[in-house]
């Protein structure tokens, strides 16, 4: 890199910094900056375009274009050359702007006389802020050094924008992290909450983007990279890592050792940036590249680089994860993504969780559901927008988040929360009462659980017992396979907390979406229909047997209920049951107390089991319909796939007719039957299930109240007649019929 431009850009940065050090109004500063850049770079024009909203750029200051067009000229993201720079995050450099593809002529600016154009993005990691442009009359392409210099200046502008250097009452410039933002994501768990942002990984704030002494900065960055390398080596050595974790860390190490990375950062420093700003500049560039890369593998590698940059920034700034900030009251956790164990550590003190990434079936989502915390996922940019302590409203029903909401929005939202709280109060008054319909039929309502943390809800919700205890959560939140004694202690605590009420422990349901961090994931073309649940338990019985032993020991003579997931045919149930009985005998022969009563049941989650021989229904102590899986297999619609997961209605009469068949088969053999999928917790669905003959439903604790309230005010025979009428009329779904009946039937 030539010495001349090196010192030029440093000089420019220093002038910029000195200018910014003097207190001034936002608009004045922007005007001065455009003047200073045009002057230093010897161009007739310098303009700054900033985002007005995520889709619109606005000319906020200019040297050389008509002043009247400031705050008047606007363009959409992707429109014209400026819009192209903003969209792609890449510079545009042309000697003949008007003939460039996508050029948009803006007569109000008077720019038609300028032939050459150089635009670079003003961006901060993960956040597009605007575009910095220089133009001149002479038709020439800008040199590599000039592009570089402008890029470095843009980087500093981004930092200053972030620090609020250009906001004020005067210019109408977007105040970062101050305006209300509404973000749309996907609902991961229903419920509404109001609180304050608590960032899982706080943003690193850079207060010194420009540095005087490049040699000191180079020493700093080398020392920090050295520290980073050592920390990765330590990680690689110290931990018992599996192959995949090792691979990720090896990739980290490769980047940390990459000369190109350090060299580019050193070059940035020689241009006048501080070590921190240099890291961030490279990180922004990597992010911009990330957005353009279609290849998933490469994208993952680039995101490794992103993580590494974050670590490096934390070393340089001394801003660890723990910034000393106090967690606000009513914290709403905001994260790019989070592991299940970390989420569990926060526990129930969180009001809600919002994640930029994640999927409905991710482990974190499973934990959020178990904790009954509203969860919104896939918001894409909340971590770039939110600051610790920002007011936030989370609507888990709609998958919407309001950050720094307007008072009117907040008020409407509070009404919604108040209404829900009011309803909860009403439900609480029903707590001690049975879910007896007006026809005299009583439906037993149980709750689903999966964590110790769920158990307090047993008292509060009014549930009679735990109809489904998902044991895999205990396995998912650990970094290694739990030991038998540890599990036995935990199951014993669950039974203690249930105070004699029945808890149906479901044996490990892993595979499909639930992959244990310490087990080798299988590369299966269709995991939901693959090697999962009881299939894994029967093929590799070690863990299953250990779990059965732990359950028997935990019972310590008390009654015990076990159920096996995804039983598909009679012989599978026979084998699974035989394992349980074998362990029972083994425990007895070892002199351990055996449960005074042992129930062994099967989850009906595949249509095939509904047609199993009578011997199955005679052998099993009970059948529990796992509606989530059963529905996905009945309709051939992946429960994790947003495109199809809501496509088919549970009240579709084909499905209800199929469920009626299950009720009839269980009735023939007197086999107790329950339903424990999510649908059991939706009042209208629960009503339909009760109407067709289900007498036990198991659901989220928060659903017990609403379901009970509805069941207590209806006649199930009448509801059954409504469903039969829908069938007789050849309808597709019973829903409109039940809805109409309910509305004409309300008190
Ligand atoms: C189900 O499939 O309905 C069920 C209750 O189990 P899970 O949701 O854990 O698969
Ligand atoms: Mg299931």
Tens of pLDDT, residues 521-561: 777 888 889 999 999 999 999 999 999 999 999 999 999 99
User: For 350-394, how does the pLDDT look when each residue is reduced to its tens digit (9 = 90+)?
Assistant: 999 999 887 776 777 777 877 778 999 989 889 888 888 999 999
572 CA distance to ligand 2 middle (Å):
16
Q: Averaging pLDDT over each range in 89-93, 205-209, 212-216, 682-686, which range is the top one?
A: 682-686
Token reading at 222: 């080398």
Q: Going along 520-597, which residue ranges are E strands?
A: 560-567
Helix H or strand E encompassing 61 = strand 56-63
Q: Which residues are catalytically annotated?
A: 363, 676
Residue of the nearest CA to atom 8 in ligand 1? 628
Higher pLDDT, 610 or 111: 610
DSSP H helices in 405-464: 407-429, 456-461
Question: Which candidate, 373, 401, 370, 384, places its Cα nearest to that of 201?
Answer: 384
d(CA 422, CA 709): 13
DSSP code at position 320: -
Higher pLDDT, 439 or 309: 439
Long-range CB pairs of 719-728, under 8 A, 24+ apart, other chains included: 719/687, 719/688, 719/690, 719/691, 720/691, 720/692, 722/691, 723/653, 723/656, 723/688, 723/691, 723/692, 726/653, 727/653, 727/657
Q: What is the pLDDT, as a whole number, of residue 245?
A: 62
Q: Which of 450, 565, 680 to mutate to test the pocket of ligand 1 (most atoms within 8 A of CB)?
A: 565
509 CA distance to ligand 2 middle (Å):
8
Largest CA distance in the chain: 96
User: Which one of the ligands is nearest to 674 CA?
Assistant: 1
Residue of the nearest CA to atom 6 in ligand 1? 626
With 0-12 / 13-18 / 19 or more C-beta atoms within 10 angstroms meaning exposed / middle / buried, residue 53 is: exposed
Q: What is the pLDDT, as a whole number, of residue 3?
A: 43
Question: Which candidate, 358, 321, 320, 366, places its Cα nearest to that of 336?
Answer: 358
CA-based R_g, the chain, Å: 31
Q: What is the pLDDT, as a whole number, of residue 592?
A: 94
d(CA 585, CA 564): 19
User: For 466-499, how does the pLDDT look when each residue is reduced to its tens digit (9 = 90+)?
Assistant: 999 999 888 877 778 899 999 999 999 999 999 9
Q: Is the pLDDT of residue 239 over 70?
A: no
Please state the atom number of ligand 1 nearest to the C-alpha of residue 626. Answer: 3
d(CA 486, CA 493): 11
CB-based contact 147:120 (threshold 8 Å): yes
Give the pLDDT band (50/70/90) at residue 324: low
Kindly state the average pLDDT of the residues 673-682. Answer: 94
CB-based contact 62:69 (threshold 8 Å): yes
Please state the atom number of ligand 1 nearest to the C-alpha of residue 448. Answer: 5
User: Which one of the ligands is nearest to 468 CA?
Assistant: 1
d(CA 1, CA 473): 56
Q: Averaging pLDDT over each range in 127-141, 397-411, 611-625, which range is the top one?
A: 611-625
| Residue 736: C-alpha distances to residues 650, 653, 723 (Å) | 12, 12, 10
> Residue with structure tokens 């499909």?
512
d(CA 590, CA 586): 6
Q: What is the pLDDT, as a whole number, of residue 425?
A: 86
Contacts of 415 (CB under 8 A, 6+ apart): none
Between strands 375-377 and 352-355, the pairing is parallel
Q: Which residues share a beta bridge with 47?
A: 62, 133
341 CA distance to ligand 2 middle (Å):
22
Token reading at 529: 């229909």
> Residue with structure tokens 């894994």?
536
Q: What is the pLDDT, as a whole number, of residue 625?
A: 98
With 0-12 / 13-18 / 19 or more C-beta atoms within 10 angstroms meaning exposed / middle / buried, residue 266 is: middle
With 0-12 / 13-18 / 19 or more C-beta atoms within 10 angstroms meaning exposed / middle / buried, residue 612 is: buried
Phi and psi at 439, nearest 5°, equal: -80, -5
d(CA 679, CA 398): 18
Question: Which candidate, 533, 530, 532, 528, places its Cα nearest to that of 633?
Answer: 528
Structural domains of the chain, with CATH: 3-162 (3.30.450.40), 181-202+328-420 (3.50.30.10), 214-317 (1.10.274.10), 429-437+623-670+672-747 (3.20.20.60), 465-615 (3.20.20.60)
Question: Which candidate, 145, 116, 130, 162, places its Cα nearest to that of 4?
Answer: 145
d(CA 216, CA 220): 6
Give the pLDDT band (50/70/90) at residue 4: very low
> Residue with structure tokens 């991710």?
362
Q: What is the pLDDT, as a whole number, of residue 244?
A: 61
Kindly state the average pLDDT of the residues 107-126. Answer: 85
> Residue with structure tokens 């992290």?
177
Q: Point out the least confidently predicted range of 193-197, 448-452, 648-652.
A: 448-452
Residues with CB under 6 A from ligand 1: 468, 470, 509, 605, 626-629, 676-677
Higher pLDDT, 487 or 15: 487
Q: Which of 362, 533, 536, 676 to mutate to test the pocket of ligand 1 (most atoms within 8 A of CB)?
A: 676
d(CA 449, CA 471): 9
| Mean pLDDT, all residues of the chain | 88
Q: What is the pLDDT, as a whole number, of residue 1?
A: 39
Residue of the nearest CA to atom 9 in ligand 1? 470
Q: What is the pLDDT, as a whole number, of residue 506?
A: 97
Q: Is the pLDDT of residue 56 over 80?
A: yes
What is the percentage of the chain residues whose pLDDT exceeds 90? 52
Give the pLDDT band (50/70/90) at residue 172: very low
User: Which one of the ligands is nearest to 476 CA?
Assistant: 1
Long-range CB pairs of 339-346, under 8 A, 24+ apart, other chains included: 339/363, 339/364, 340/364, 340/366, 340/367, 340/473, 340/476, 340/477, 341/477, 341/478, 341/479, 342/200, 343/367, 343/368, 343/371, 344/371, 344/451, 344/453, 344/477
Higher pLDDT, 319 or 147: 147
Left (φ > 0), alpha (ψ -120 to 50) or beta: where does 455 sit?
alpha
Residue of the nearest CA to atom 4 in ligand 1? 626
pTM of the model: 0.71
> Residue with structure tokens 């592991």?
339
Question: Which candidate, 57, 59, 48, places its Cα nearest to that of 160?
Answer: 48
627 CA distance to ligand 1 middle (Å):
7
Q: What is the pLDDT, as a whole number, of residue 725?
A: 98
Kindly state the average pLDDT of the residues 255-278. Answer: 87
Q: Averaging pLDDT over each range in 114-118, 158-162, 285-289, which range is the top one?
A: 114-118
Give, in degrees to the nearest 5, the angle at Cα 240 between 234 and 245: 80
Q: Is the pLDDT of residue 611 over 80?
A: yes
Contacts of 482 (CB under 8 A, 6+ apart): 474, 475
Q: Point out the least confidently predicted range of 216-230, 252-266, 314-328, 582-596.
A: 314-328
Q: What is the pLDDT, as a whole number, of residue 500?
A: 94
With 0-12 / 13-18 / 19 or more C-beta atoms within 10 angstroms meaning exposed / middle / buried, residue 411 is: exposed
Give the pLDDT band (50/70/90) at residue 2: very low
Q: Point out the least confidently predicted range of 232-236, 248-252, 703-707.
A: 248-252
Kindly state the average pLDDT of the residues 669-686. Answer: 96
User: For 393-423, how does the pLDDT look when each residue is reduced to its tens digit (9 = 90+)?
Assistant: 999 988 999 999 999 999 999 998 888 888 8
Token reading at 382: 């909340």
Residue of the nearest CA to atom 1 in ligand 1? 626
629 CA distance to ligand 1 middle (Å):
6
User: For 18-40, how does the pLDDT look when each residue is reduced to its tens digit (9 = 90+)?
Assistant: 887 777 778 888 899 999 999 98
| Residue 87: C-alpha distances to residues 270, 285, 338 (Å) | 28, 13, 28
């Amino acid at each position: 890199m030539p010495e001349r431009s090196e010192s030029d850009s440093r000089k420019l940065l220093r002038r910029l910094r000195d200018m910014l050090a003097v207190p001034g109004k936002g608009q004045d500063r922007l005007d001065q900056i455009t003047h200073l850049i045009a002057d230093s770079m010897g161009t007739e024009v310098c303009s700054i375009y900033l985002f007005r909203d995520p889709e619109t750029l606005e000319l906020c200051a200019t040297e050389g274009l008509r002043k009247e067009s400031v705050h008047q000229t606007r363009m959409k993201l992707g429109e014209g050359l400026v819009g192209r720079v903003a969209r792609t995050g890449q510079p545009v450099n042309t000697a003949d702007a008007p003939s460039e593809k996508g050029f948009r002529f803006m007569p109000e600016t008077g720019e038609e006389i300028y032939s050459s154009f150089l635009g670079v993005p003003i961006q901060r990691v993960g956040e597009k802020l605007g575009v910095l442009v220089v133009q001149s009359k002479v038709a020439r392409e800008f040199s590599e050094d000039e592009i570089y210099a402008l890029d470095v200046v843009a980087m500093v502008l981004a930092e200053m924008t972030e620090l609020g250097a250009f906001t004020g009452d005067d210019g109408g410039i977007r105040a970062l992290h101050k305006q209300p933002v509404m973000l749309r994501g996907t609902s991961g768990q229903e419920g509404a909450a109001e609180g304050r942002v608590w960032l899982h990984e706080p943003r690193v704030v850079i207060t010194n983007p420009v540095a005087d002494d490049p040699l000191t900065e180079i020493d700093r960055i080398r020392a920090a990279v050295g520290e980073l390398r050592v920390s990765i080596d330590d990680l690689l050595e110290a931990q018992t890592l599996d192959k995949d974790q090792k691979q990720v860390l090896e990739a980290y190490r490769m980047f940390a050792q990459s000369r190109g990375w350090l060299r580019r950062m050193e070059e940035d420093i020689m241009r006048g940036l501080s070590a921190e700003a240099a890291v961030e500049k490279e990180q922004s560039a990597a992010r911009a590249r990330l957005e353009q890369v279609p290849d998933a593998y490469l994208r993952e590698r680039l995101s490794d680089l992103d993580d590494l940059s974050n670590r490096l920034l934390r070393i340089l700034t001394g801003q660890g994860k723990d910034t000393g900030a106090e967690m606000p009251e009513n914290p709403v956790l905001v994260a790019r993504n989070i592991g299940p164990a970390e989420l569990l550590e926060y526990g129930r003190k969180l009001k809600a969780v919002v994640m930029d990434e994640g999927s409905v079936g991710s482990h974190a989502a499973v934990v959020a559901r178990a904790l009954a915390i509203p969860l919104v996922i896939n918001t894409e940019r909340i971590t770039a927008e939110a600051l610790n302590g920002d007011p936030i409203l989370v609507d888990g029903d709609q998958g919407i988040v309001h950050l720094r909401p307007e008072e009117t929005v907040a008020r409407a939202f509070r009404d919604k929360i108040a209404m829900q709280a009011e309803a909860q109060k009403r439900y609480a008054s029903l707590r001690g009462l049975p879910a007896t319909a007006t026809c005299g039929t009583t439906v037993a309502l149980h709750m689903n659980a999966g964590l110790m943390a769920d158990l307090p809800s047993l008292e509060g919700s009014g549930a009679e017992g735990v109809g489904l205890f998902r044991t895999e959560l205990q396995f998912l939140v650990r970094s290694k396979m739990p030991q038998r004694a540890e599990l036995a202690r935990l199951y014993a605590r669950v039974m203690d907390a249930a105070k004699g009420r029945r808890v149906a422990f479901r044996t490990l349901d892993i595979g499909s979406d639930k992959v244990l961090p310490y087990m080798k994931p299988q590369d299966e073309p269709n995991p939901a229909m693959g090697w999962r649940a009881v299939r894994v338990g029967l093929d590799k019985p070690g863990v299953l047997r250990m779990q059965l032993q732990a359950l028997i020991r935990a019972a310590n003579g008390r009654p015990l209920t076990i159920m096996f997931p995804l039983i598909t045919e009679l012989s599978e149930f026979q084998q699974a049951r035989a394992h349980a009985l074998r362990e029972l005998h083994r425990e007895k022969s070892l002199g351990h107390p055996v449960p005074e009563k042992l129930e062994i049941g099967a989850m009906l989650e595949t249509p095939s089991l509904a047609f199993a021989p009578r011997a199955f229904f005679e052998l099993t102590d009970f059948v529990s319909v796992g509606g989530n899986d059963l529905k996905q297999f009945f309709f051939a619609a992946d429960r994790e796939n947003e495109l199809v997961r809501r496509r088919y209605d549970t009240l579709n009469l084909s499905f209800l007719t199929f469920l009626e068949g299950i009720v009839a088969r269980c009735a023939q053999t007197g086999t107790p039957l329950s339903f424990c999928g999510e649908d059991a917790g939706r009042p209208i669905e629960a009503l339909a299930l009760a109407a067709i003959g289900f007498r036990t439903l198991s659901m989220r604790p928060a659903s017990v109240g609403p379901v009970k309230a509805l069941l207590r005010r209806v006649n199930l025979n009448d509801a059954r007649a409504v469903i039969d009428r829908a069938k007789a009329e050849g309808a597709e779904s019973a829903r409109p019929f039940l809805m109409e009946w309910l509305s004409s039937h309300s008190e």
